[in-house]
Amino acid sequence: MDWSVQQIAKMTGTTGRTLRHYDDVGLLKPSRTGRNGYRYYDQESLVRLQRILLLRDLGLGLPAIAGVLGNEAHAGRALGRHLEWLQQEQDRLGRQIASVRHTIEALQAGGTIMAEKMFDGFDQTQYREEVEQRWGKDAYAKSDAWWRGLGTVQKAAWAEQSRQLGADWTAAAASGVPADGPEAQDLARRHVDWLRGIPGTPAAPAAGATRGADGSAGAPPDIKAYVTGLGEMYVGDPRFAANYGGADGAAFVRDALRIYAEAKL
């Protein structure tokens, strides 16, 4: 069974022009072309298109998408990793929907809003226990206070910076550049600068030197170990690996950060 351009455009909300462009750039070839010149796509083509649309939603450009598809030929494994991330997002959005619905119902009924139910799914403290175990309660308190003190525009700008950094990492990994090359090392520099902008992290300038019980100056935070440890965490935790296109992308980030840390930190 195969599907025409018009059928696919209707199912996906894309356009025939977009599908033709994907064909022209070699991203998605039709499985056959009819005598009338119409393009048709089989099941394998539809699976590839689904992957293209998922990667596009992550902010990747077409060259980066082509690289990802080329490096991960097994569609089932790639979609499985993406499904994990989507399910996490589904859970978070589901809790947000329920909390907003609760607020609306309470307002319409003129009742009392239960504050503890208003912010489920909005919680920025979901990694609190992990952060405190790894870097201490003070690190979490400072970073949490910083985040809560940001305005809406500032939070949006920071989120966009984070998204762009992840997209650039994913694109670099997909392009096959070496982890010790200039492109990857510039991304590692940007990544460390991004970390330094978050108060409470060992990379933040405000962290300074620690103090002993008698008030004397202690050792400065081990930034090198912090950065390399984060790289390992990106690989080991699928929640973070999803930010870099999956396990292979996270491994590329880890290697580039380790090389940068050894040379620069």
* Residue 105 CA: distances (Å) to CA of 114, 242, 257: 11, 35, 48
Q: Which pLDDT does position 132 carry in this prediction?
A: 59
CB-based contact 65:56 (threshold 8 Å): yes
252 pLDDT more than 90: yes
- Give the model's confidence band at 120: pLDDT under 50 very low, under 70 low, under 90 confident, else very high: low
- The CATH topology of domain 3-71 is Multidrug-efflux Transporter Regulator; Chain: A; Domain 2 (1.10.1660)
Instruction: Write the pLDDT tens digit of every residue in 124-166.
Output: 455 555 555 655 677 667 777 777 777 766 776 777 788 888 8
Is the pLDDT at 5 greater than 80? The verdict is yes
d(CA 78, CA 91): 20
Identify the CA nearest to 144 among candidates 132, 133, 134. Answer: 132
In degrees, rounded to 5, the angle at the alpha carbon of residue 1 between the alpha carbons of residues 70 and 25 is: 30
End-to-end distance of the chain based on CA atoms, in angstroms? Answer: 57
- CA 68 – CA 60 distance, rounded (Å): 10
Do 75 and 48 form a contact (C-beta atoms < 8 A)? yes
pLDDT, tens digit (0-9, with 9 covering 90-100), for 41-60: 999 899 899 888 887 776 66
What integer pLDDT is reported at residue 216 of this predicted model? 38
pTM attached to this predicted model: 0.50
Q: What ranges do the domains of the chain cover?
A: 3-71, 125-264
Which helix (H) or strand (E) covers residue 32, if one does? Answer: strand 32-33
Give the C-alpha separation, 204 to 200, whole Å. Answer: 6
pLDDT of residue 208: 44
Q: State yes or no: pLDDT of 206 exceeds 70.
A: no
Q: Which of 107, 13, 96 is nearest to 57 (CA)?
A: 13
Closest CA to 79 of 90, 68, 93, 89: 68
* Tens-digit pLDDT profile for residues 210-251: 433 334 333 345 788 889 888 888 887 766 777 788 778 889
Taking a C-beta distance cutoff of 8 angstroms, is the pair 172, 188 a contact?
Answer: no
Q: How many residues are recorded in the chain?
A: 265
pLDDT at 91 exceeding the cut of 90: no
| Residue the block writes with tokens 């982890």 | 179
